[in-house]
Amino acid sequence: MSNMIVKRITLLSFIEKKARRIEFHPNITIIQGDNHTGKSSVLKSIYWTFGTEPKKIHPKWKSADVISIVDFRLNETDYSILRQKDLYAIFDSNGNLVGRFTKVTSELSPFLSELFNYKVKLMNKDNEAVIPTPAYFFLPYYIDQ
């Protein structure tokens, strides 16, 4: 699997008329704060942008109808992934669209698997070897609360 560094996340809600950009250090970022200040929401937002569905999402966050963009570096190449509801778009470092998807399992997962050089296949309920969803890409790095 390739080396990925999350550079920043941008969150936008037209409903709440708010936006937030969070920059991450290329070596290490520590997210700290009191309880109920949004630490987990930041991590879940990254996870969500890549096509996963965290087990617990705050109802207020759901109703905000958030659009998110995660800028990341994969090996030595920069990319951005955008999520708005069930639409995903991936852009290269020049802002060129390199992929647009509306289905996670059959479209986004195979694309990300190739991009990340993630060659794992798992057996589905029909005993067929399939590319797992992006949640499996993050398994070594993120466990939902």
Query: How much is the pTM?
Result: 0.89
pLDDT of residue 42: 87
Is the confidence at residue 23, as pLDDT, over 90? yes
Is the confidence at residue 79, as pLDDT, over 60? yes
Confidence tier at 41 by pLDDT (50, 70, 90): confident
**Structural contact between residues 92 and 79, judged by C-beta atoms closer than 8 angstroms:** yes
For the chain, percent of residues with pLDDT exceeding 70: 94
pLDDT of residue 44: 87
Instruction: Report residue 23 as tokens.
Output: 């920059």
Model pLDDT for residues 87-144, shown as the tens digit of each residue:
999 999 999 999 999 999 999 999 999 999 888 899 989 999 999 888 888 776 665 5
**Structural contact between residues 48 and 58, judged by C-beta atoms closer than 8 angstroms:** no
The CA distance from 66 to 77, in Å, is 26
pLDDT of residue 51: 94
Question: Comparing C-alpha atoms, which of 138, 137, 120 is closest to residue 129?
Answer: 120
86's CB contacts (< 8 A; 6+ apart) are 102, 103
Is the confidence at residue 1, as pLDDT, over 60? no
Length of the chain: 145
The CA distance from 43 to 24, in Å, is 12
